[in-house]
Structure formats: structure tokens, C-alpha cells
Chains A and B, each alone.
Chain A
Amino acid sequence: MKKRVVSAVLASALLVAAAGCGNNNNNSSSSGTTTTTTTAAPSNNSADTTTTTTKAEEKTDDAAAPAASGVSIATDTGKKLRIGCWNDEFQGFFEKYYLGTKELHEGQGDYYDKAPGLPEGVEIEWVTTPSEGGAYQTWLDTNLVKNASASADDKIDFFLAEADYITKYADSDYTLNISELGLTVPSTVYDYTVKAASDRNGNVKGGSFQCCPSTIIYRRSIAKDVLGTDDPAEVQSKLDSWDKFNSVAAQAKDKGYLMTGSFQETFRVFSNNATSPWVTDGQLTIPDAVNEWKDQAKMFLDNGYTLKSDVWGQEKTDQMYADGKVMCFFGPAWYFNFCMTNAMDPEKGCSGDWGICVGPQSHFWGGTWLLAATGTDNPGLVADIIKTFTENQDVLEQLIVVDGQVPNSTDLVAKYAADSTYGSDFLGGQNPLTLYNTMTSSIKWENHTAYDQICNEKFPEKMLDYFIGNCDEATALQNFYGLVNESYGNAVQTP
């Protein structure tokens, strides 16, 4: 009897330990980091996600040398350019305009001839970790800390950061001051993109190639049915306050439409206009603007003005097809290329049936910044890449003309905003830059903390239980606070 008990306890101890190992495996495999090594070779199909490693093909043009930009601060010794990112947005632009991959330019001119390309023998590795749930940040945190002492091929040379968490990295010793790279802030960039990439002492740590004013993206045909007009200025006059927006939602419902495709759709508008940060001195407080969103979202779901889908959900994106019932989506210029492919579908889509207007509140959403990692062994190359994507007006102009982006250049945006011949086919001929140009001046960088991503991502998610009646509001809030405690430990105190 005694023996058996002892053996049972021992056996269970052993199993616990063994299963513990199993969990570690799960965790490491669930982190989902993928590595893609691609090259400068124009013939190489770099869109493939399988790992391919080939040597960089020497560019024959004279534009090749990155050192031509006059950087003489440090010399490059690395043979591998290692880049941390969370999706392939920038990778696409990089391959197009820096490597000059010819296939990507098909039918779009011959800019590939002007792309600088990589120096001979340097190979690129993209390490992609999805950002959901903070996984990308976890990857960065783990690797940046040991970057200075990592072996040459394991060093991160530069990485991308998003508006939600750039503060954390810009305001740390793990990113290089751009002056150390021999760079200065170009005169053409938007102020907020500089502020976002600055530490608390005003040292600038990187730059962005884009500017992200975000608008309502409405279906013209539905707007015509509900509001009697699809003209951007007139639609705007009927949606320029939350009261008007909410009453139009009721009208849309009466006509059998949905105002938005996700209960989270307007979250970014409210949170971006918050007058207080999520966390002050280690204490979490829900900003008033976010509470206003909560009331609106509850009302929208109760009245059937929106769907239970999350902001990236298939249920919502399905509504972008021609037979969709949703009138308004919210997003900046990157949203078209990245999230509205259903609308662009040649058969089921409805390209051209879209228009944009500011909506109830001006706001911006997201944005990608390039930050040089402390310890990089390719500072010259990294400097040239940052310079190319923040300063080179030819590249930034391509981003407008070819990719329909809003580049980080006040001059170019103003130029195309005034150009009556420029218009987007997707938006039924509307010139989006005219609108964006009026919004850029109101973008402010304030109330950002290092803890924003989880708060912005998880608050709406946890509130859904309250909205649909799974629990009361207080419980849903406690669930959110519990999650913040798990994510940030003692660093953030919750009510």
C-alpha cells in the first residue's frame, strides 16, 4: 500500500515534469516566428515564404554603393542584414524600391533601374513575427537585449515598429540615435512621425516612410441609398459628429444596411482622440474617450447597427464584397492595399464604389517606423535604407503614384493634393490626398505609453462579453484588468 502511494506520487511527479517539457515545446512553436532569407537577385521570387538563401547579385549600375550617401560614421562589417518585422508590408516596398526586384514593377514603369540594391555579398533575412497578443514585441524584447553581444549573423540590424509600441523602443538604449548613423531629420517629414520616433530627451531614433491619417471609407451606392448622396463633401456634412453618425446608423438599419462591419470599427477613432494615456505612473486608467466608445459599441450591437466580428475578422471583410451590407469602414491609406482586397476582387468586389471622408473625428491609425538596432554591424547600409525611405523624394513619389500610399513627405502630399488629374480608381476618381492633406496638420503625437498595444487590442475584445450579455460591465472590466496584470505584472497597477 505505502509503496504504491509512493510510486504513484513519483509517477505523477515524473509525468508533471515530462508534460512540462511538452508545454515548452508548444510555446515555442506557437510563437510563430518565421524567417525568410531573400536576396538582391532580381530573378529570385522573393514573395515566397519558404526559406531561401542565395548570394546577393551584384548590381551593375552605378547607384549601388550605399556609402555614397556620405555616411562615414561606422564601417559595415556584417554580411547579413537581419530585419525584424510583423508583416510583409515594408518588405514589399523594400524589395520593390531598394532591391529593385523587376517583377514587382511589371506595368508600373522602370524604377527598378534606379533602386540602389545591396552591396555585394550581403544577404537579407526577414524575421517575421505576427504582432497579435504582443508576440512581435516579445520577440524584439528577447533579441534586442542581447543584440550587442550576438554573433554577427544573429544581430538585428534594424526593425520595424508600429505606433502602438514605438515609444517603448524609441525611448530605450536599444535603438540608435539617427545622428550616430550620420542622418538628420529631413525637412519634408511630418512632425508627428519625428515625435513618435523620439526618446524623452528629444533624440530621434528612426523614421517612417508613411503618414497615416485615417478616414471613413464608405460605399458610394449604400450612401446614395441611405443619405441620398455619395459626394464626399455632402456625406461628410451628414457624418461630422457622433450624434449624426449614430442617427445615420439608425437610418441605415431601416434600409437594411449595417453602419459598420465590426463593433470595434470606431475604437481607433475614439482612442486616438483620448486626452489621457492608458497608463500614468504605473496606474491604469481607462481614458474617457474609450469609455465613450464602449457606450457607442454597446448601443450599436444592441440595435443591430454592426456585427460581432473583430476588426480584422472574416465576417467583416466578407462585407467588402459587392453584395456586402456595410456602409462605413475606417482606415488610412494602407488599409486599402492591406485589408480591402475583397473589395478589389475583380469578380465579387466593388472597386470604384468607395469614397472617403473625415467622419466625426479626425484621427490616425498605425504607421510603420524603421529603427536601427543598437549593435548593428551594418550601420552604413541601415542609414542608407532609412534615408531612402524617409528622404528620397523619388521613392516616396513612387509610393503615391504606384502604391496609393500617403508618404512621409509634406511636399509631395501637397503637390498631389493640388493635382486635379490625380485620383484613385478604387475611390471612384476621388483624390484621397486632397483630404489627407487637410488632416495631416491635426495629427498629434501624445498620450502614448509603452503599454498601449495590449490595452488597445484587448479592451474591445474583453468588452464584447458585456456587450452581448455574457456578463455585466464590472465583470468584463475585471477580466480586462486581470489580463493587464498577467501581461505587465507589477509594472501596471489596475483598479
Chain B
Amino acid sequence: MSSTTNTVPVKHKSISYAKWGYFFIAPFFVVYVACSLIPLFSTFYNAFFENYIDGLTQVGPNFVGFENFVTLFTPRPDGRLEIINYTGNTMIMWIMGAVPQIIFALLLAVIFTSDRMKIKGQPFFKTVIYMPNIIMAAAFAMLFFTLFSRVGPVNQMIQANGGEVFDFFNNKWSARGIIAFINFLMWFGNTTILLMAGIMGIDQSLFEAAAIDGAKSSQVFFKITIPLLMPIIIYVVITALIGGLQMFDVPQIISSGSGAPNNTTKTLVMSLNAYINGASKNYGMAGVISIYLFIITGVLSFIVFKFTEPKKGGKK
């Protein structure tokens, strides 16, 4: 490199390759700062401004301090606080989908990795269970919307068997159930693959030792698999939680954006979307909801992390 320079003024004690390290990780940081960090801070910044369109007239941006926060946390005249309602909807629909998703994925992962069962055609099954994840959520939602509509095939079957038409999307629990089921169907394959990787990472000799000691399958599962799989489970839960809090496309399409029935399927991001993509392009309110979402996500992730952390004491 320095072959063109003749003078060697400083003696190198050692050659530092560190700069190459920085060089190679630079692209990530550049992209991260440009695409994530700056938008993140600008969201916080926007939350303190009144900034929307009235008809074709731009209002603001005017600095309004915490006014948007106050608006978000002001109850409606009948005493309901929409943001809490939307948070509740989001969490309920996430739990309805995520709990079965993780249990089911865990079961499948154990079955697929079991030495005793030796399931044949594993690649085939793995592909099949992962398949729903490849399909666009919007397409999935459209499909279920058509299936369960009042004139759809499900109701036609119910009628053919002498039943009454059931209005799936105007009943709180069936509407939420369908949304949760779509999310479950889309994500359990992904979770299965992650958990399988985790289980395969556990030292096989532990399983063999347990088998020699005469442990039952359930004992192996609860005493070996689960504890050693905990880091992966935490990862799965936290990523699922973050994804779940941002639930948007499925309920948006299932309820045509209205959050019907009675705003019980309206999620936080649907509200955010109504502000930012609605008639007024309300950056201020959208910013406040984003911050709220950010804080909720942080707090819940922290709780999950704290709750599942291995207990201290004994050996260290």
C-alpha cells in the first residue's frame, strides 16, 4: 500500500487491522442511521407539532408541546379512552393467536426432532407448514373475508345443514378469532423452524443420558428441552410480541378499515394509519401513537425478559 512512500518515519510496533473492521461494519451503520435512527428521532420530533392538512390547506407545523399527547389521552365524552381500547384489542388478538402458535410450534418442533419417531419426509412437512408465511397477509385476509362473509361458502354450508346465517364479522369474538387464526396460521411455521433449530442445538448426550436413566418423554420435555430452549423461546416470544403489537393488515382488511364490530378489532397501527393516511395526514397524532407503541413495546419486552430470566443464586 505504502510502496510509493520511501520514508518510514514511524516504526510500527504492530499492524492494526481494526480499521478494516470498522470499514466492513460501516455499511450497516450507514443504512441503520439513515433508514431507522433518523426516522425514529423524527417521529419523536413530529409528535410535538401540529401538522396536518385541512382540505387542501396545510396547517402547521406549529410547535404545540405536549398537546398531541393530551389529545391522545383525553377520554371521549362517554368516558372511554380509545387508545386503551385499541391497545386492549391488539393485545387480546395477539394473545389469541400467539399462545396457540407457540404451543403448536413447540409440539411440532419436538416431534420433528424426536429421535424415536424419526418422521419421514421432513423437508416436505417443513415446507408445507412454512408455506402460509410466504403468502401475503392481505391475500390471506381477503380469502378469509370471502370464506366467512354472510354470502360466503362457510355460511352456505351452515345453511345447507339447516342452520341460520352467522354474521362472523359482526360478532366481536368470531371476528377477533378469525384475525387471530390467520395470524396463527401465518406464523406457526416460522416459529416451528426457529424452535427446531433451538432443539437441535441442545447436546444430544443429555437426551441419551435421560433415556438411560429411564426418564419419561414428558420428563425429558419439561426438565431438559424446555429449560435449555428458554433463550430461543424468549427470542420467539419477544419477536412475536413486537410483530403482534404492530398488527395491521389482517384486521384492516377483515373489517374494511373500520375495526368493526364496535371498534373491537381496531388495533393501534390501524388508528395510526387512519391519522397518517387519512384525509388529514396528521403527522403530530401519528407521531404520538408511534411513541406510545414504542414505549409499550419496550415495557412489554422488558417484562417478558425479566419474567423468563433464569433465577439467580446457587452457582455463578
Contacts and interface: CB of A to CB of B under 8 A. Distances in A.
A144 B149 CA distance: 38
B263 A479 contact: yes
A287 B285 CA distance: 28
Contacts of B172: 470
A122 B243 CA distance: 48
B167 interface: yes
B77 A476 contact: no
A458 B309 CA distance: 47
Nearest to B305: A8
Contacts of A145: 56, 58
B248 A487 contact: no
B150 A20 contact: no
B299 to A, nearest CB: 10
A30 B246 CA distance: 16
Interface string B247-259: 0110010001110
Given A19-B242, A172-B56, A486-B275, 10 more contacts: A12-B238, A16-B40, A19-B243, A168-B55, A174-B56, A470-B262, A478-B77, A482-B76, A489-B52, A489-B280
Nearest to B64: A490
B249 A26 contact: yes
15 contacts: A4-B305, A12-B238, A14-B36, A16-B293, A21-B35, A138-B279, A172-B55, A464-B260, A468-B170, A475-B78, A481-B76, A482-B82, A487-B278, A488-B54, A488-B278
B170 A308 contact: yes
A27 B277 contact: yes
The interface centre, meaning the residue of B43, B52, B242, B302 with most chain A CB atoms within 10 A of its CB, is: B242
Contact of A470 (B78, B82, B261): B261
A17 B262 contact: no
A68 interface: no
Given A21-B35, A309-B150, A483-B274, A461 B248 contact: no
B273 interface: yes
A474 B279 contact: no
A11 B258 CA distance: 33
A29 B36 CA distance: 20
The interface centre, meaning the residue of A5, A15, A138, A462 with most chain B CB atoms within 10 A of its CB, is: A15
B239 interface: yes
B138 interface: yes
Contacts of B76: 478, 481-482
Nearest to B85: A482
A266 interface: no
B260 A489 contact: no
A18 B36 contact: yes
B279 A454 contact: yes
Interface string A141-178: 10011000000000000000000000011001010000
A26 B248 contact: yes
Interface in B72-93: 76-78, 80, 82
A489 B55 CA distance: 11
Contact of B52 (A29, A465, A491): A491
Nearest to B273: A27
B275 to A, nearest CB: 5
Interface in A242-300: none
Contacts of A8: 238, 301-302, 305
Interface string A350-371: 0000000000000000000000
A174 B294 CA distance: 38
B225 interface: no
Interface of A: 1, 4-5, 8-9, 11-23, 26-27, 29-31, 132-134, 137-138, 141, 144-145, 168-169, 172, 174, 308-309, 314-315, 318, 450-451, 454, 458, 461-462, 464-465, 468, 470-471, 474-476, 478-479, 481-483, 486-491, 495
Contacts of A30: 138, 249, 252
A490 B50 contact: yes
B298 interface: yes
The interface centre, meaning the residue of B35, B56, B82, B294 with most chain A CB atoms within 10 A of its CB, is: B56
B196 interface: no
A475 B262 contact: yes
A486 B278 contact: yes
A5 B269 contact: no
Given A4-B305, A482-B82, A16 B262 contact: no
Interface string B277-290: 11111100100001
Contacts of B277: 27, 31, 138
B170 A314 contact: no
Nearest to B56: A172
Contact of A495 (B77, B261, B271, B290): B77
B99 interface: no
Given A27-B273, A479-B262, A168 B56 contact: yes
B290 A20 contact: yes
Interface in B141-181: 149-151, 167, 170, 172
Contact of B248 (A13, A23, A462, A483): A23
A495 B78 CA distance: 11
B297 A16 contact: yes
A465 B37 CA distance: 42
Contacts of B276: 27
A275 B36 CA distance: 51
B315 to A, nearest CB: 15
Interface string B291-308: 001100110011001000
A218 to B, nearest CB: 23
B239 A458 contact: no
A19 B37 CA distance: 13
B119 interface: no
Contact of A141 (B50, B56, B260, B293): B56
Nearest to B138: A30
Given A13-B40, A458-B258, A486 B170 contact: no
Contacts of A468: 167, 170
B285 A489 contact: yes
A13 B298 contact: yes
A486 B271 contact: yes
Given A478-B78, A479-B263, A137 B279 contact: yes
Contact of B53 (A15, A133, A141): A141
A4 B248 CA distance: 30
The interface centre, meaning the residue of B52, B82, B277 with most chain A CB atoms within 10 A of its CB, is: B277
Contacts of B242: 12, 15-16, 19
A478 B248 CA distance: 22
B39 interface: yes
Contacts of A461: 258, 260
B206 interface: no
B151 A486 contact: no
Given A12-B298, A489-B285, A144 B56 contact: yes
A65 B238 CA distance: 66
The interface centre, meaning the residue of B58, B76, B249, B252 with most chain A CB atoms within 10 A of its CB, is: B76
Contacts of A1: 309
A489 B285 CA distance: 8
A462 B36 CA distance: 37
A17 B294 CA distance: 9
B107 interface: no
A59 to B, nearest CB: 37
A491 B54 contact: yes
B26 interface: no
